[in-house]
Each structure stands twice: as C-alpha cells, then as structure tokens.
Structure 1
Amino acid sequence: MGKSQKEKGSRREREFAQLTGGTKIPLSGAMEGYANDVNAYGLEWEIKSRKTGFKTIYDWVLDERENPDAVAIKVDRKPWLVVMELDKFKELMDR
C-alpha cells in the first residue's frame, strides 16, 4: 500500500471517529494487539474506503424509489451483513 492510500485510510478513520463521537485506535493494523480502526457506540469498527468499489451497495441503500432504511446482503457460505446510512444508524443508537 502506498503513502497516499495510507493517508486516505487514516483520514477516513479520523472522519468516521469524529462523526460518531468515537475514537480512532492508534496503530490500527500496524501492530499486533491493535485490531480494527475505530471504537464507537460500544463497537469496534473496521473502516473501508474505495473510490467506486461499493457503488452497487450505495445504489441499493440510496434508492430514491424504494427508500429503504437498510439493505441486507449475503454471499453463499458467509454471514448476513446489514448496510445503512450512518445518520440512520446514529438515530437508532441514540434512542
């Protein structure tokens, strides 16, 4: 991974921590014992960012016609995942 990718990853981790009131885990991924990237809402988060790699998932979540609260996705022999907008998740957590 090049320097610009590492900087982008750290920038996204800091952004997510700020948006959620969480804390960025120092040295995440760099040393044993520092797993995941952010602690927020009592959960440990792994932060992933891609230029267009998640476009289809965004299309499903932000579908203006259907306007879902969340999307459940699954591939064979893997567990279900739930994807939703951060603002909706924060609303649920703050109840």
Structure 2
Amino acid sequence: MGRSQKMKGTRREREFAKLINGKRVPLSGSAKHAGEEHTGDVEGLGLKWEVKARKDGFKQLYKWLDEEVVDGLAIKADKKDWLVVLPVQTLLSLLGLYEEM
C-alpha cells in the first residue's frame, strides 16, 4: 500500500470517528502484521469498527440506497450472517444521537 493510500485511510478513520464521537485506534493496521489480534480502526458507540474507503468500490450499495426510497439495506451471502448497511445519520438517529446540521 502506498503512502497516499495510507493517508486516505487514516483521514477516513478520523472522519468516521468524529461522526460517531468515537476515537481512532492508533496503529490499528500494524497489529495484524505483528501477529497480534486486529483491534479495528475506530472505537465508538460501544463497538469496534473496521473502516473501508474506496473511490468507487461500493457503487452498488449506494445505488440501492439512492434509487430505492429506503432507510437501509439488509444483505446476505449464502452461508454467511446478515449485514445491515445504513447511512451514518440513520444509525445515529436510531441511537438518539443525531442532531440536524
């Protein structure tokens, strides 16, 4: 991974941590390389979060959220657990933490 990719990842981790009033886990990516258990990129709302950012890698998820008039997505692969995809404002609203900007 190049330096600009690492910087982008760090920027997105900080951005998400700020949105949920959480904190970024320093050196979170290096733990998995050192043979330690990966701790996640951000801690907040009582959860550990892995933060992923792609230029256009999640296009279909955004398309489903934008085209349909829905609040979230429930997705499942065969023999895997259900996943829920929500806009962060929806998540914070459900938790009673969202304030209109």
What's the TM-score once normalised by structure 1's chain length?
0.91
Counterpart mapping for 1:24-63 below 5 A: 24-31=24-31, 32-33=36-37, 35-63=39-67
Identity across matched positions, percent: 51
Counterpart CA distance in 1 for 2:11 and 2:61 is 22
Quote the residue 2:6 is aligned against: 6
- Over the aligned positions, Cα root-mean-square deviation in angstroms equals 1.3
Quote the residue 1:85 is aligned against: 87
Give, in angstroms, the shift of residue 17 of structure 1.
0.4
Structure 2: give runs of 5+ residues left out of the alignment. none
The Cα offsets for residues 6-62 of structure 1, whole Å up to 9 and x where unpaired, read as 110000000000111000011112122551000111010000010001000011112
Counterpart CA distance in 1 for 2:69 and 2:38 is 37
Counterpart CA distance in 2 for 1:49 and 1:39 is 17
Q: Which amino acid aligns with 2:82?
A: W
What's the TM-score once normalised by structure 2's chain length?
0.85
Structure 1: give runs of 5+ residues left out of the alignment. none
Q: Which segment drifts farther, 32-41 or 12-21?
A: 32-41
